Amino acid sequence: MDYYDVFPRIVPADKVSEVRIRPRYKHALFPEAELMQVVCNPFDGLNPDGKYGPDADAEKRVEWRMDGDTLVIRVFFTGEQEHNIRVTIRNGQTGNVELVKGFRIYSLESDLYELRPYRGDFHIHTTGSDGRETPCYVAARYRQKGFDFAAISDHGNYKPSVEAIDYWKALDLDFRLYPGEEVHSQDNPVHIIHFGGKYSINDRWRDNTEQYFREVAAIQDALPDKDPRVNNFAVAASEWVFDEIRRAGGLCVFCHPYWSVAQNVIDEGITSEIFRRNKFDAFEVLGGFYKYQFESNNFQVVRYYEEQAKGNRFPVVGLSDSHGVDRFEFGAGRPVVQRVVGMKYADSRDCDLFGWYYTVVLAKSNTVEDLIDGIRNFRSCAVSCIEGETPRVYGPFRMVRYVNFLLREYFPMHDTLCATEGALMLDHLAGDAKAAGALKQLKGRTADYMEASFGK
């Protein structure tokens, strides 16, 4: 629980900004001003004088005052880095240090400061293919989990994503749903996520099979330096899908190359050729692998950084590949227990994969066009947030530093706001006549929190 409102959390670099720290509860109140010392330490050690290292004048550089119960700070935030506002509180009788409170601020260069962070997932399965719950239910659970946007992407099926969009759009939510599908083109083992396009690519090849094979053959014939050991049809078919997704206005994502069953589903020849030709928009560097499948994501992360080191750059995303959002544990897999006790479950928890892997995009807005633009322009990170483990962030170093800060300092309160909306979405879906009105009253809360976090 956040004991303080800290606004703004994100400030422009190389400017003086005013930060207001307001206790939200009585037990978090600041003492009298004479018992406090306020210092701002830049994490990278870059000081306002342009030099690196300890700043002997750190305390002098901070102007601060109390405005009622609110601590108001003015300081010059140097460069693009994290800053630690340290409030040292002394005991009024002994003069000894009693408590040190730290408040983190991030200063950004103008190109990133004008953008906003959005958490999303667009590799999600429902009853529209082999998932457990309906598209509308899954959408509500994603909002409850703290997501700003999502796209249902069922196997070979675009319609479930539209079903979720059509159902929820009547409530005009801040949560955004976009179209999607997992594309499985004929005779091609490569799975490709289609995010945000205006029509189905699965329908496109199924409705025009002869044309599909003819166009793929033309791409295959034009491939230079073909390796005879490689399934070049699969390479060409994948590039056909990439092109068709872009033609539909969507983002094409190369998925889980190191997914294995009896062996890797996509052989290394195809994988290496797809990486070498680099015709996709983004790579699913973190995909929907369970804990026992840790090697798969490990291989994908190392492959990503190795390709970058060779100069083969491409954006990355993290996507859950979730096939369910709820797990009922009582009597699971034990039909005798279920029959004798007379109940199938007593409690539930989040299903594995749900919320484990996702993408944070820095974009101008939460529209599909701006989100795709953010990903294509290397302003996204893949996040691993497996239950019971510490988060891991992957992508360009500049983005990774900032997104780690956001996970720690920005998203917790954001997620609390989203959880309330998601719970009401579930109530509405279950037939609660009052839920729609409550959601209407809450509209704009997450947007207001976001803008306040940027001092707007």
Is the pLDDT score of 344 beyond 90?
A: no
Confidence of residue 301 (pLDDT cuts 50, 70, 90): very high
In angstroms, rounded to a whole number, what is the distance separating the alpha carbons of residues 389 and 294?
A: 13
Return the H-helix or E-strand segment holding 7: strand 4-7
Alpha-carbon dihedral sign for residues 289, 291, 296, 300: positive
**The two three-digit tokens of residue 401, written as one number:** 């530093």
Predicted pLDDT at 327 = 83
- pLDDT tens digits for 7-19? 999 999 999 999 9
**Residues in Cβ contact with 55 at an 8 Å cutoff, skipping those fewer than 6 apart:** 41, 42, 47, 61
> Domains in the chain and their CATH numbers?
4-109 (2.60.40.1220), 116-453 (3.20.20.140)
- pLDDT tens digits for 74-112? 999 999 999 999 999 999 888 898 889 999 999 999 999
In angstroms, rounded to a whole number, what is the distance separating the alpha carbons of residues 311 and 222?
A: 24
In angstroms, rounded to a whole number, what is the distance separating the alpha carbons of residues 87 and 33?
A: 11
**The two three-digit tokens of residue 277, written as one number:** 């030709």
- pLDDT tens digits for 54-65? 877 777 789 999
* Cα 198–Cα 202–Cα 204 angle in degrees, nearest 5: 70
In angstroms, rounded to a whole number, what is the distance separating the alpha carbons of residues 82 and 320?
A: 29
Is the pLDDT score of 444 beyond 90?
A: yes
Instruction: Specify the range with the lowest mean pLDDT, choosing from 284-293, 311-320, 336-345.
Output: 336-345
Predicted pLDDT at 401 = 98
Q: What are phi and psi of 137, to 5 degrees?
A: -65, -45
How far, CA to CA in Å, does 140 sit from each of 145, 160, 173, 178, 429? 9, 14, 11, 14, 9
Q: What are phi and psi of 15, to 5 degrees?
A: -145, 160
Confidence of residue 384 (pLDDT cuts 50, 70, 90): very high
